[in-house]
Structures are given as C-alpha cells and as structure tokens.
Structure 1
C-alpha cells in the first residue's frame, strides 16, 4: 500500500483536514519500507522501549517538552484544570484533566456518546472492515477477546474504533449509563495504532496489549469497552470502581504518553451508529469526534 498523509473530517465544520503526526517519517520507514520490518519487530514493538520512554516522560525534567508540544500541536491548554507551570512532568500534562464543562455531554437517554476525543471509524458489521483496511488480514473476534463465548455473543455486531493521537485529550469516559465489570488485561505487543500502521495490519488490535470491560446497559445492550496500548504508551490506568453503576460521561481511566485507541463492540441489532460516521468510514476517512458527543442511538 502506498504511503499517504492522514486525512480526516472535522465533524463540526465538515472540512477535510490533514493530521499532524509526530514522528511521521519514522512511521513511514517502519511500516512502509521493507527495511523497517527488522527494527519494528526487534525493538519498537517490545515492552522495554515503551516502558523506558514512559518512565522518562514521568521525570521532572520532561516538563521542558510541554510548551513546545503545546505550540506545535496547537493544543487549547485553557481547557485544562492545571496551568502549564503546575504540571510536574510531561506525563502529568499528557493525561491532564479538563475543566468542568470543557466537553458538552449529550445526556439524552437514547443517545450513545463518544468515550473519548479522537478520530472514529464505525462498522455496522466488523466484517465490513476490509472496505478501509488491507484485505486479507486475519482478524477474528475470538482472537480479539481471547474468549470464544464473547466472540459468539458479539458476532456480526457493530465495531467502533476511536483513535487518540498524541495531541488529543487522553482520558476516556463511559458512553452510557450502566453497570461496569472489572477490567481484564490481555497482554501483548506495542505496535503503533496510527492509521499509517493499522492500514498495513488490522491485526494490530489482536496483537497489542489491551484491556476490556463490559458495560451492561438498558438502552444499548452489553457494550464491550476496550482500551488498546501502543508504541510509547507507558500504561493504561483504570480509575473507575469495578462492579458498580456508572453514569454517562463519568471518567473510566486514562492513557500515559503516546497514541492509543478505544474500541466499542456492540451486540447485533442493539445500536444505530450515526449515518455520517458510517458513510465517512465507507469512503475510507475518519471523523473527528469529542468525548460526550453523540455517535449513535438505541435500537431497543
């Protein structure tokens, strides 16, 4: 597949924009150059590199990276609870909390909202993923869940990917009211989850470290919520109380430094994803959404 810049639709305006990707030249080498395969498999995907860099971003001296990053990425830091000088490390800035009201949450009971800021791809059936990604990738829900019964439960269901770029707000939230289970860890590698990488190999979602929990809801059935780690994502922290009732918009957890992904899997027939998101996905382009923004409605 030929390398090309990442284009996405800014949902609020309908504009087609080009994403600024930190380290894009390295991603191009690793995933689109045959010579990149060796360092990718020997070093980049391994845990030690991500852990090393994650720890480095938690040191006080990493604060010097904050202002240049804000300026380059054009981040609206006025949304953050803390002022720039109050952050104790780059990671402290990276998983920053936002001020109350910084994200408008649609509380309509039949509405499903995005759990995070990011760029979304939505499939009414996971089998439709070949319309966007390289055909022939062997992806299966059984391997994704590593659970045959859950794979059967969500067979032919809706599959939603929200990709968080390094410039995004990196806390994730609940998309609906419901009862949330404990989080289950599935260990794995640390491939990049950038569109550059995933277009080459959709199986990254089966191979990377990930955690999932089940949100039992009245309006949308049982939602499988996945958080997927990636290159330079030093960790996934769950901040919610397991086996409790949670409200739409409440925080579930956060990612450490790096790009990462939230995935929602729905049982067949329980949810109707908004038409514009489905149509954009069918055209092979992601849509920028924000935490709390409507992405679908109940079919129940």
Structure 2
C-alpha cells in the first residue's frame, strides 16, 4: 500500500475521523478555513489547492477551468457548458447536484432518517408545521457532496421558487461517520429551506445543509454576492421561475442537500445508498 493510501485509510478510521472533524471547535475551524479558502496569496493558495487535490480526489475533467487563484475558487468552480444536461420531460425530477446518495425512501408520518436507526422529525427540520405536514407521507432523499465534487446546485426541473427560510445552527460534519453518532444532525446544522412548485402545481422542497469548515450557502436567485446568513433568519417570499438545470446556488465546501417530494412523486426504484449521482440524473417521476 502506498504512503498516500495508508494516510487516507488512517484518516477514514471512524474514531479518528470523528475526533478530527467534530471534536475540535467547529466554528473556529470554519472561520480559519474560510479565510484560507478566500486567500489568493500564493504562499497560502498553492499549498491549500495542492492538499485539496491530494486528499479530495478532485476531478476537473469537465470544469470550465483547471487552475484557480484560491481554494474557494476551486470549490465553487463552474463546469463547461452542457456538462450536466437535465431531462426535458417536466414529469421527471432530477438530482440538483453531484452527490453520493444517502438515506432515502418514504417519509413515515413526518419522520425521515439521516441513517438507519437515526430518525428526525420534519417539524424539527423545517420552520413551519404546515410545511412539514405537506411532506409528512411523501418521499425524501439525502444527497451528500464531498469536498472534491462540483459544488453548485441546479433546478431539478422547471420550478417556480416561492420562499426561502434561513435557519442558523451548528456546523457538524455531515459525513456518514457523524450521521451515525450525532442524533438529529440535520436539525442542528445551519440550513436553508427552499420552497418551490412545479409547473403542474406539485410542491418540492430543497434543504441545503451547511457543514464544518467553510459552511457557506449562496443562492443565485436571491443575491449571489451575499451569503444567505448575511440576510438574517426568517422567511423571504420569492417569485422566481427557473428552467430545469438553471443554477440555484452553491456551497463553498462539501455538504448535503435534502430533497422532499409529495406522495405522488415517488423516487425511482433503482436508487441505492452509496450510489454516485450527477446533477441532471433522474431521481423521481410525478405519478411514479
């Protein structure tokens, strides 16, 4: 086994990984890494980019550029035009992002799962009981973005955006190791609740969840230059139409998007936990 592979195996050992990514002061670490990610000074940016490429398994084959002035620029890189085609069928709901498929399935009386044995209630995750009730018997899928992945996310089908609620919170790591140890983790972390509706009136909910290190969410259809948290807590009414595949925003580091669908939009049967998926690949279909 090579030295890099041995080092990666050591860092992925559960106890050590949890210690390194969750037992250190999370907000302090997030601020420090945020400063490093924004720096364009060569003495900071070049080592940071080199470490990112070494540890994160970065694939730049479809990126619009392959050299970056800062680590943050690498995280939020755009892709070449046409690299992520989206279905033209309005009844198909696609993945909004590149991700690893996590826990998914039917919401059971208002309960979903971060991993097997670790449930969370929608009325704890979401700011409005009426909104939670809308998906209480629907479907959910967890999409985890790793540090080396493409970090922008897109409209999964033709959508009308209706509202965004920012909820402040912690910045626990959202990797599988933490999900097996921290109860109700998604309900604890900083997140955005994005309400949308399809052309036929079907509601859809996207919940980007921030995580340790950069822990920043930007939404293109609101105000791209500003972090979502800069606008403060509370719901903002929105009336913006986005075609399938239109950019919605981005994370400034790997994180998770939770997708919630109503009962009449079941997930595809061949979706499996641990499956890599790309933005634009089908997740669900209206009416099954």
Pick the TM interval, shorter chain.
0.7 to 0.9
For residues 180-199 of structure 1, the aligned pairs below 5 Å read: 180-199=161-180
1:48: which partner in 2? 28
Is this contact kept in 2: 1:220–1:271, CA < 8 A?
no
Instruction: Indicate the SS of the match to 2:156.
Output: coil
Deviation at 1:143, TM superposition (A): 0.6
2:100: which partner in 1? 119
C-alpha offsets along residues 31-89 of structure 1, whole Å, 9 cap, x if unaligned?
4xxxx49x946x44x423212211221111223332453355443313111231xx221
1:151 and 2:119 equivalent?
no
Is this contact kept in 2: 1:177–1:245, CA < 8 A?
yes
Deviation at 1:296, TM superposition (A): 1.4
2:229: which partner in 1? none
Deviation at 1:30, TM superposition (A): 5.9
Counterpart among 254, 257, 260 of residue 255 in structure 2: 260
Is this contact kept in 1: 2:196–2:204, CA < 8 A?
yes
Q: 1:222 to 1:234 in 2, by over 3 A?
A: same
Is this contact kept in 1: 2:127–2:165, CA < 8 A?
no
- The total of aligned residue pairs comes to 261
Q: 1:71 to 1:139 in 2, by over 3 A?
A: closer
Instruction: Indicate the SS of the match to 1:151.
Output: helix
Counterpart among 204, 213, 217 of residue 194 in structure 2: 213
Instruction: Indicate the SS of the match to 1:292.
Output: coil
Counterpart among 231, 249, 265 of residue 271 in structure 1: 265
C-alpha offsets along residues 169-214 of structure 1, whole Å, 9 cap, x if unaligned?
1001111112102421101101010011112235101000000111
2:283: which partner in 1? 295
Q: So what's the TM-score if we normalise by structure 1? A: 0.78
**Partners in 1 of 2:183 and 2:62 — Cα distance?**
34
Unmatched tracts of structure 1, length 5 or more: 1-19
Unmatched tracts of structure 2, length 5 or more: 1-7, 223-237
Q: 1:271 to 1:134 in 2, by over 3 A?
A: closer
Is this contact kept in 1: 2:86–2:94, CA < 8 A?
yes
**Partners in 1 of 2:154 and 2:259 — Cα distance?**
12
- CA RMSD in angstroms comes to 2.6
Deviation at 1:215, TM superposition (A): 1.0
Instruction: Indicate the SS of the match to 1:286.
Output: coil
1:250: which partner in 2? 246
2:115: which partner in 1? 133
Instruction: Indicate the SS of the match to 1:57.
Output: helix
Instruction: Indicate the SS of the match to 2:147.
Output: coil
**Partners in 1 of 2:267 and 2:217 — Cα distance?**
27
2:147: which partner in 1? 166
Counterpart among 63, 66, 83 of residue 80 in structure 1: 63
2:123: which partner in 1? 142
1:70 and 2:53 equivalent?
yes
2:16: which partner in 1? 29
1:10: which partner in 2? none
**Partners in 1 of 2:46 and 2:200 — Cα distance?**
44
Q: 1:199 to 1:141 in 2, by over 3 A?
A: same
Instruction: Indicate the SS of the match to 2:275.
Output: strand
